[in-house]
Amino acid sequence: MNFVRSLTLRQLQIFVVAARHLSYARAAEELHLTPPAVSMQLKQLEDNVGLPLFERMGRGVALTDAGDMLVHHALRVLGEIKDAESHLQALLGAEVGQLSVGLVSTAKYFMPRLLAKFSQEHPGIEVQFSVGNRESLLQKLQDNAIDLAVMGRIPTEIDAHAEPMAGHPYVLIGPADHPLRDARRFDMHELRHETFLLREEGSGSRRVAEEMFKNHLFTPPRTISMGSNETIKQAVMAGMGVALMSLHTLPLELKTAEVSILDVIGTPIDRTWYVVNMNAKRLLPAGQRFRQYLLEQSAIALEQEFGRYVIPRTAS
């Protein structure tokens, strides 16, 4: 099989976008092309490869085994080309460049503001960010599809460098009119009749909640699993139960007093935000500047926005 001479970088770019969306129409929209143009380029790529890369699944498409394999190689190829471009830009000695940053879903509530401030101070550096779960970000780091990732746990699964950039407190919240909203330092067993709203199995937030139950020798009488932070917040506001959530997911709800923070002994639960990059990846000046910016500014910005909502934890 010798398709390297025939494929083009444009085909790889279109293929990667279509694989991410699993939709020719959405890929066309992102790439500012027509769906027939996307379809034609992907058909040519499949002809060059000699294997189907997508298969029809109802109204959408799914990657075949060949497509799943090729997408990782395509990401690496495009990542290397992006690195080459950035290295050449760095030789100019100017503060220019591009970098891609991956965020776990909880970080999407505060990182855009940090990104916006960084972009104002460094207008020559273009920062692109994407949101995904932990597993997808680890894969993107390995594929060289992103330069940096922001996540809540050190990734021991891959050969990566992680530096703590800010504290990450978790708090118990209830509806605005919760009967214990004004109570101070009460035992978790006071919530023995509550329904606890949890994220899905395998999520970082659920893991923190389960550790909390274990540490308090507490078994919630009833739990409901929900697939997103937004759903949990709406359910709490509606009075369906209480939830352990990252403080940093609650900027709007705290400002408008739509939820109350319950001052349970042992909370807030302290976790840490990390900025992560592969050890094998040489960060260019743009990436180095942004990583240093996060290390210097994240804790300050988060404390300014959220510090007033948390009562410091004391010994019980």
Domain ranges of the chain: 1-93, 95-166+272-307, 168-270
Distance (Å, whole) CA 234 – CA 159: 38
Distance (Å, whole) CA 299 – CA 305: 10
Kindly tell me if the per-residue pLDDT of 302 is higher than 80. yes
Average pLDDT for 2-17: 76
Kindly tell me if the per-residue pLDDT of 249 is higher than 80. yes
Mean pLDDT of the chain: 88
Q: Where is 12: in which H helix or E strand? A: helix 9-21
Distance (Å, whole) CA 254 – CA 159: 38
Predicted pLDDT at 198: 95
To the nearest 10°, the Cα dihedral for 247, 251, 253, 256?
A: 130
Give per-residue pLDDT as tens, 143-166. 888 999 999 999 999 999 999 999
Kindly tell me if the per-residue pLDDT of 3 is higher than 80. no
Average pLDDT for 262-277: 94
Average pLDDT for 180-209: 91
Kindly tell me if the per-residue pLDDT of 26 is higher than 50. yes
CATH number for the region 1-93 comes to 1.10.10.10
Kindly tell me if the per-residue pLDDT of 63 is higher than 60. yes
Q: Which residue has tokens 């932990």?
A: 134
**Residue 200 pLDDT class (50, 70, 90 cuts):** confident
Architecture of domain 168-270 in this structure: 3-Layer(aba) Sandwich (3.40)
Q: Do domains 1-93 and 95-166+272-307 have the same CATH topology?
A: no
Average pLDDT for 187-197: 95
Q: Which residue has tokens 């009562």?
A: 311
pLDDT > 90: what percent of the chain?
49
End-to-end CA distance of the chain: give it in Å, rounded.
68
Predicted pLDDT at 34: 87
Does the predicted TM-score (pTM) go above 0.75? no
Predicted pLDDT at 5: 58
Transcribe 64-127 into DSSP letters.
Answer: -HHHHHHHHHHHHHHHHHHHHHHHHHHHTTSS-EEEEEEE-GGGGGTHHHHHHHHHHH-TTEEE
3-state helix, strand, coil in the chain (%, to 5): 45, 25, 30
- Tell me if the domain spanning 95-166+272-307 has CATH number 3.40.50.720: no
Give per-residue pLDDT as tens, 73-128. 888 888 878 777 766 666 554 467 788 999 998 899 999 999 889 989 888 888 88
Answer whether 196's CB lies under 8 Å from 169's CB: no
Predicted pLDDT at 50: 82
